[in-house]
Structure 1
Amino acid sequence: MEPSLSNNNSYGDCEIIRWFEEIAENASFVQTQTLRRIIELNFETEYLKKWLGNINMQEMEPNLLESIYTSLVPLVSHADLEPYIQRIADGDLGAILTQDPITTLSLRVYPIKPGGRILEFIYSSKHFKTNGGLIAGTATSHYFASEEFKLKQKKTKSFTCSPLKVITSGDYKQSTYCHLLLGLYLSPQVEFITSTFAYSIVQAFTTFEEEWKDICEDIRKGTLNSTRVTIPMMRKSVLEIITPNPSLASLIEDKCNDLEVLNWASLIPKLWPNAKYVYSISTGSMQAYLKKLRHYAGHLDIVCADYGSTESWIGVNVDPSYPPEKVTFAVVPTFSYFEFIPLYRQRQDCSLSSDDFIEDEPVPLSRVKIGQEYEVVVTTFTGLYRYRLGDVVEVSSFYKGTPKLNFICRRKLILTINIDKNTEKDLQIVVERGSELLNQGRAEIVDFTSHADVTNRPGHYIIYWEIKGEVEEGILGECCREMDAAFVDHGYVVSRKTNSIGPLELCIVEKGTFKKILDYFVGNGAAMSQFKTPRCTSNKSSSAKKVITREEWEKKLSDAKIRREDMNELVMNYLVTEGYVEAAERFKTESGTEPDIDLATITDRMAVKKAVQCGNVEDAIEKVNDLNPEILDTNPQLFFHLQQQKLIELIRNGKVEEALEFAQEELAPRGEENQIFLEELERTVALLAFEDLSNCPVRDLLDISQRLKTASEVNAAILTSQSREKG
């Protein structure tokens, strides 16, 4: 039976699970049907007519329609659609992007008892009218003010602690105070704590540390602090709920006095004893707040919310018991029509182009490969056609027939000066290393951002910290040095050794700086629930971009002074990385350029690389250990990938019993320690289940590209090790 595409809001838990299992099993078919529905609904729009013309799609096979659509309709970004959106905002009532306004909502069933309360830190920004009379605002603002939001509470038989007037006030500071007040007033009923992003929860409890005494006073007297909350309608809605409760106020006061001594550790379970978990988006840039959120959550699980964007929901977390760092999202094939642009990271030794990845042609959901990185492209029911989201994801595995995605980062959120390239994720790891030293004292990082300063030579990275607590200058210096050394990108390591990138600079900003950034963001019409601290900043405003003429550009090129030493370093780095030992020796003699490693080691390194490429993994491991045993001792991921490659070679050569024994004795214990390793092991062992490998969904493991991928990883690790040894 073919799966149904309709959503029924009266479904119970079991029906929803069965529906999801069915569409996941038939994800490829469901995707082609979803695309057909989107095109049928919006076929008469100006935009689709422009690209598809008057094609007869009624009798067309789904796969043919999919092929024609992706061939004729171009990939777009927001800039491409802006003229169409502006016309709609200005009052053009024609069928520009959509034929009819369509609203779809997939209700999430919260596992709580009927009548339970949710402490939701949710916020709606103020709406405004466009020139054409349309009401505009953020996606969350529209949702929280909608009938669908009320329906969600009714269907799940659970209600947020705060009334609508608190959520839609447009003043996040006053709303936060009321959320906290009502959350504590109704604390025995609260089943879990949630917000769209982890940042909002951390921000709320940071505020609570300063305002808890006023909140207790309001609970004791049944009042609402007139300084904290001034909006009349909000005051009225809150005062209709609370009545004096001196005993509850005293109980909370006693707990807060104890918590203050403990630096507010386990605040959530102590103040909300019936809370079962904390629920929010905590992947990507939100991982920066996980440590503080866990500090507040104590023993409670942090359940990662589903994966979505302003444009479309994408996937669901089917493993809610996993910690946020290991969460993947199963794509729901009815949300939108999804495509995936394969992305390949540029070689670390070559200069950067204007982008951060090399792209291939987009592929449909049914053709994605495990281990490959992609940018997500969506075609939605609401008028976005082949729209690039800018999210970089990796396919970690499959849930039945639909891929499970691991969110990697946003595109172009990178630090780069010349041949270096560091992503938001790289920056997060570096800051965590520095904060470990900071946490040895009584200080912690409130928030951070960064900047690649190229105004002086050599250029260098700047990391900005806002700190809570006191810390000595010497410790900050150690933090800075630790972070500088923690960047592992080969381009950065080499550039630091040659001084083509200067030392990292750590700047401490005044208390409240990041709060001012938030205030500015909200003051310009955005919602608190959508705020994300920018991790990489520019000195220039994006709204004040300067258009440079050809003559100005040519003059800049002619005036540019490229030092011969820098060019020589770039050439030498290429020769060393690619293993051209004789050419490197000649170039060293002719130019006087010293490589960052001993040239005598190149031959040994290339022997390791060749061994992996030829499938002689055991020989490669021995050679790596001969070079430096610490390489594999300190890099469990690399060692696992080498052993995984050995397992692949055993399977390739038909040594089934030996492969099973090796997997059980050597790889299974590592899988028990690391969920990602376990998934990769299960994927590899799946090769044994297929007699005809041409139909095997993981047959790409037997491609030569898998050997090359492992060989490249080993090569990079040896290079990094040798660079440090010489330094």
Structure 2
Amino acid sequence: MLISCDPNDVEGGKKLIEDLTVNANHVQQQVLKEILTRNAETEYLRAFLNGCSDKDLFKKSVPIVNYEDIKPYIEMIANGAPSKIISAEPISELLTSSGTSGGQPKMMPSTMEDLDRKTFLYNLLMPVMNRYVDGLDQGKGMYLLFIKPEIRTPSGLMARPVLTSYYKSSNFRNRPFNKHNVYTSPDKTILCSDSKQSMYCQLLCGLIQRDEVLRVGAVFASAFLRAIKFLEDYWEELCSNIRTGHISDWITDPNCRIAVSEILTQPNWKLANAIEYECKGRSWEQIIKRLWPRTKYVEVIVTGTMAQYIPMLDFYSGGLPLVSTMYASSECYFGINLKPLSKPSEVCYTLLPNMAYFEFLPVEKNPGEATEHIVCNGNSDHNCMKQQRQQQDEAIDLTDVKIGRYYELMVTTFTGLYRYRVGDILMVTGFHNNAPQFKFVHRRNVVLSVDTDKTNEEDLLQAVMRAKRLLDSLDCLLTEYTSYADTSSIPGHYVLFWEMKMRENGEVTKIDSIVMEDCCAAVEESLDSIYRRCRSRDKSIGPLEIRVVKQGTFDTLMDFCVSQGSSMNQYKTPRCIKSKGALEILEMRVVGRFFSKKAPMWKPYRIEAH
């Protein structure tokens, strides 16, 4: 089901979308048939289908799985087993997900053909944007893109984030728009492994070409805001480079220096003075419009946890449209936003039926309370098997979902994932022709996220339990806790609210700052490698903070939650605060604030040979 798309052909792109969505069910059946026919003889599928490619047998016999179920197969491939245990096509690399398993990134199989499938989706984005925004061919895009660490597995395969994989591919280097020089960031600056040098050089190139910029962005809202903060810290030096026509000496990456020198060809006093005038003012409100005055929109993902950054984006952009163009993950690229100028709260994505075979598990609970269905993971317990069978009976095809209902997304891919639970909870908002459109609600069981980190309730509990042991030296007990992601500053950071009491006297009258700072550090050391990388290497998360509150605070919080409709009998302390009112109750009772004084240890993960 590989289809090509010319990003310059608006009408051709429109026709492709119409064909795919009108024939969504037929395309889905073709996709499943092709996947099963190709992979029927793989070790994994043969165990359930015995070489057959029948859809009904697939639905009846192939189990619904999560990562822990397929992890052994992926680890075997990482250590040298043939790809054919899960995929007829050779696995060309493993894509590391921002979700974690046992504190390490999950690894998803990928093939060379899958890069073409991703490229197809990227190529559809410009025809969609051109239908809503005129004149995009009359200027450039300033997109701030970065690569992340990668490793080579014992089998020789690369394991790296999906965007790093794409940026390093020939598909990215040879993308059609690249030939016409319509991006301000040279590829060499994007591919610089030093994120600080990469950021500096991309911003410098973007400022030099400011009069040509029509659109700005990054992949995630958090990354774009981090660039604005970087600009606040370095604008004087950037202006000096433009004024003198020479890049700073601390930019030592030779490819960066070469790429920038081709753009920074001579001193430009007039440009430097204009940038300086805008940056040295008291307020940075509308700084995007002021520095890049022709900008028509900001392209960043602002759905899901990234929605917390919308107020700051509005402040810096002066109310420019915030455009979330696509919905994707390490497992699979899913679909696109066909109404890109929608308000962030109204963004919905149309799943493209040729990308994978999609199924959906109904989520009956309120989406804010949705928990994952039971997963057997090989447990032979009778009740667990009954739950698994019920799940398989409930799984719904793409075109059979109902408007207004909530579902958990599952995918069967061309790359070796079969009935895999992605972990995203979606709500059906409508249909485009026969293809449903979905609003992203949240990730299953994620309570905290600032950047690409995803901390679940269990991981947070374990980290707090480890840190609270340090209170023993004070003869002090932690009686209750909750958390929230503070994104009011850049970078954002985790905040924990702790209520404590003395073992003997009850009320804590004096708080030892050194012990509390050690508690902050202990929590950070206990969080997963994605969090620690964001803190230590990427600097995309700030130091964790513990705010100690007065005794009785969590009783007041319970009273508030009950007054808002929670059941007194079933009340549990929320482990992450979303309500503004609840947050105000906690803030009013803070008696001490403490931060981690050192970044947690982090080093690139390793895959051990077995």
What residue is the counterpart of 2:492 in the other structure?
A: 447
Could you report, residue by residue, the CA deviation over 1:598-641 in whole angstroms, capped at 9, with x for unpaired residues? Answer: xxxxxxxxxxxxxxxxxxxxxxxxxxxxxxxxxxxxxxxxxxxx
Picking from 288, 303, 310, the partner of 2:308 is 288
Could you report, residue by residue, the CA deviation over 1:382-414 in whole angstroms, capped at 9, with x for unpaired residues? Answer: 111111100011111111111111111111124
**Cα distance, 1:15 vs structure 2:** 1.3
In the alignment, structure 1 residue 371 sits paired with structure 2 residue 401 = no
Q: Distance in 2 between matches of 1:86 and 1:307?
A: 27
In the alignment, structure 1 residue 88 sits paired with structure 2 residue 88 = no
Could you report, residue by residue, the CA deviation over 1:407-456 in whole angstroms, capped at 9, with x for unpaired residues? Answer: 111111249999xxxxxxxxxxx979x99xxxxxxx86852435697999
Give, as a single letter, the amino acid of the residue that structure 2 aligns with 1:160: Y
What secondary structure does 2:13 align onto?
helix
What secondary structure does 1:280 align onto?
strand
What residue is the counterpart of 1:78 in the other structure?
A: 67
What residue is the counterpart of 1:218 in the other structure?
A: 241
Give, as a single letter, the amino acid of the residue that structure 1 aligns with 2:260: V
What residue is the counterpart of 2:261 in the other structure?
A: 239
In the alignment, structure 1 residue 108 sits paired with structure 2 residue 121 = no
Q: Distance in 1 between matches of 2:339 and 2:177?
A: 26
**Cα distance, 1:146 vs structure 2:** 0.9
Q: Distance in 1 between matches of 2:558 and 2:275?
A: 40
Picking from 117, 128, 143, the partner of 1:120 is 143
Picking from 323, 336, 339, the partner of 2:356 is 336
Q: Distance in 1 between matches of 2:220 and 2:558?
A: 26
Q: Distance in 1 between matches of 2:424 and 2:369?
A: 25
CA contact (8 A) 1:266 1:296 kept: yes
What residue is the counterpart of 1:178 in the other structure?
A: 201
What residue is the counterpart of 2:470 in the other structure?
A: none
In the alignment, structure 1 residue 307 sits paired with structure 2 residue 340 = no
Q: Distance in 1 between matches of 2:4 and 2:55?
A: 27
Gaps spanning 5+ residues in structure 2: where?
90-110, 376-386, 449-455, 459-482, 507-519, 525-540
In the alignment, structure 1 residue 151 sits paired with structure 2 residue 177 = no
Q: Distance in 1 between matches of 2:594 and 2:6?
A: 52
CA shift in 2, pair 1:128/1:349, >3 Å: closer
What secondary structure does 1:255 align onto?
helix
What residue is the counterpart of 1:20 in the other structure?
A: 17
**Cα distance, 1:240 vs structure 2:** 3.2
Q: Distance in 2 between matches of 1:348 and 1:382?
A: 32
In the alignment, structure 1 residue 266 sits paired with structure 2 residue 286 = yes
Q: Distance in 2 between matches of 1:79 and 1:467?
A: 31
Could you report, residue by residue, the CA deviation over 1:39-86 in whole angstroms, capped at 9, with x for unpaired residues? Answer: 22223322222221122x4xxxxxxx3222121111111211111111
Gaps spanning 5+ residues in structure 1: where?
58-64, 419-429, 436-442, 527-542, 544-727
Q: Distance in 2 between matches of 1:278 and 1:124?
A: 21
What residue is the counterpart of 2:87 in the other structure?
A: 98
**Cα distance, 1:364 vs structure 2:** 0.9
In the alignment, structure 1 residue 408 sits paired with structure 2 residue 424 = no
What residue is the counterpart of 2:94 in the other structure?
A: none
Which has the larger displacement, 317-326 or 339-348? 339-348
How many matched pairs? 476
What secondary structure does 2:298 align onto?
strand
Q: Distance in 2 between matches of 1:493 and 1:316?
A: 42
Q: Distance in 2 between matches of 1:367 and 1:333?
A: 13
CA contact (8 A) 1:467 1:511 kept: no
Q: Distance in 2 between matches of 1:348 and 1:40?
A: 39
What secondary structure does 1:390 align onto?
strand
What secondary structure does 1:404 align onto?
strand
What secondary structure does 2:362 align onto?
strand
What secondary structure does 2:402 align onto?
coil
CA contact (8 A) 1:278 1:300 kept: yes
Could you report, residue by residue, the CA deviation over 1:223-270 in whole angstroms, capped at 9, with x for unpaired residues? Answer: 22223x333332233223312212111111111123xx12x1111111
Give, as a single letter, the amino acid of the residue that structure 2 aligns with 1:315: G
**Cα distance, 1:362 vs structure 2:** 1.2
**Cα distance, 1:206 vs structure 2:** 1.0
User: Once the two structures are aligned, what percentage of the paired residues are identical?
Assistant: 30
CA contact (8 A) 1:375 1:393 kept: yes
Could you report, residue by residue, the CA deviation over 1:79-113 in whole angstroms, capped at 9, with x for unpaired residues? Answer: 11111111211222351222124222312343354
What secondary structure does 1:279 align onto?
strand
What residue is the counterpart of 2:465 in the other structure?
A: none
Q: Distance in 2 between matches of 1:155 and 1:94?
A: 33
Give, as a single letter, the amino acid of the residue that structure 2 aligns with 1:447: G
Q: Distance in 2 between matches of 1:68 and 1:508?
A: 58
Could you report, residue by residue, the CA deviation over 1:319-371 in whole angstroms, capped at 9, with x for unpaired residues? Answer: 1121111111111111110000011227999999989xx98521111221111
Q: Distance in 2 between matches of 1:512 and 1:331?
A: 44
Which has the larger displacement, 405-414 or 102-111? 102-111
What residue is the counterpart of 2:419 in the other structure?
A: 386
CA shift in 2, pair 1:452/1:76, >3 Å: farther
**Cα distance, 1:287 vs structure 2:** 0.7
CA contact (8 A) 2:404 2:428 kept: yes
Q: Distance in 2 between matches of 1:508 and 1:389?
A: 37
What secondary structure does 1:382 align onto?
coil
Q: Distance in 2 between matches of 1:317 and 1:347?
A: 22
TM-score (structure 1 length as normaliser): 0.58
What secondary structure does 1:33 align onto?
helix
Picking from 42, 45, 68, the partner of 2:42 is 45
What secondary structure does 1:378 align onto?
strand
In the alignment, structure 1 residue 164 sits paired with structure 2 residue 153 = no
CA shift in 2, pair 1:510/1:431, >3 Å: closer
In the alignment, structure 1 residue 9 sits paired with structure 2 residue 5 = yes
CA shift in 2, pair 1:222/1:409, >3 Å: same
Q: Pick the structure with more helix per residue.
A: 1
**Cα distance, 1:150 vs structure 2:** 2.2
**Cα distance, 1:139 vs structure 2:** 0.9
What residue is the counterpart of 1:62 in the other structure?
A: none
Give, as a single letter, the amino acid of the residue that structure 1 aligns with 2:604: N
What secondary structure does 2:364 align onto?
strand
What residue is the counterpart of 2:216 in the other structure?
A: 193
CA contact (8 A) 2:363 2:370 kept: no
Picking from 223, 230, 242, the partner of 2:252 is 230
Q: Distance in 1 between matches of 2:559 and 2:316?
A: 30
TM-score (structure 2 length as normaliser): 0.68
Could you report, residue by residue, the CA deviation over 1:494-551 in whole angstroms, capped at 9, with x for unpaired residues? Answer: 677999x9984767454998xx57xx77x5379xxxxxxxxxxxxxxxx9xxxxxxxx
CA contact (8 A) 2:402 2:428 kept: yes
Give, as a single letter, the amino acid of the residue that structure 1 aligns with 2:177: K
Per chain length, whose mean CA-contact separation is higher, i.e. which structure has more relative contact order (CA < 8 Å, sep 6+)? 2
Picking from 344, 347, 350, the partner of 1:324 is 344
Q: Distance in 1 between matches of 2:294 and 2:64?
A: 48
CA contact (8 A) 1:280 1:304 kept: yes
What secondary structure does 1:17 align onto?
helix
Q: CA RMSD in A?
A: 4.4
Q: Distance in 2 between matches of 1:483 and 1:158?
A: 57
What residue is the counterpart of 1:640 in the other structure?
A: none
Q: Distance in 2 between matches of 1:350 and 1:331?
A: 22
Give, as a single letter, the amino acid of the residue that structure 2 aligns with 1:208: L
Could you report, residue by residue, the CA deviation over 1:161-206 in whole angstroms, capped at 9, with x for unpaired residues? Answer: 2222211222222211111111101111112112111110011101
**Cα distance, 1:212 vs structure 2:** 0.6
Picking from 29, 37, 50, the partner of 1:32 is 29
CA shift in 2, pair 1:453/1:409, >3 Å: farther
What secondary structure does 1:230 align onto?
coil
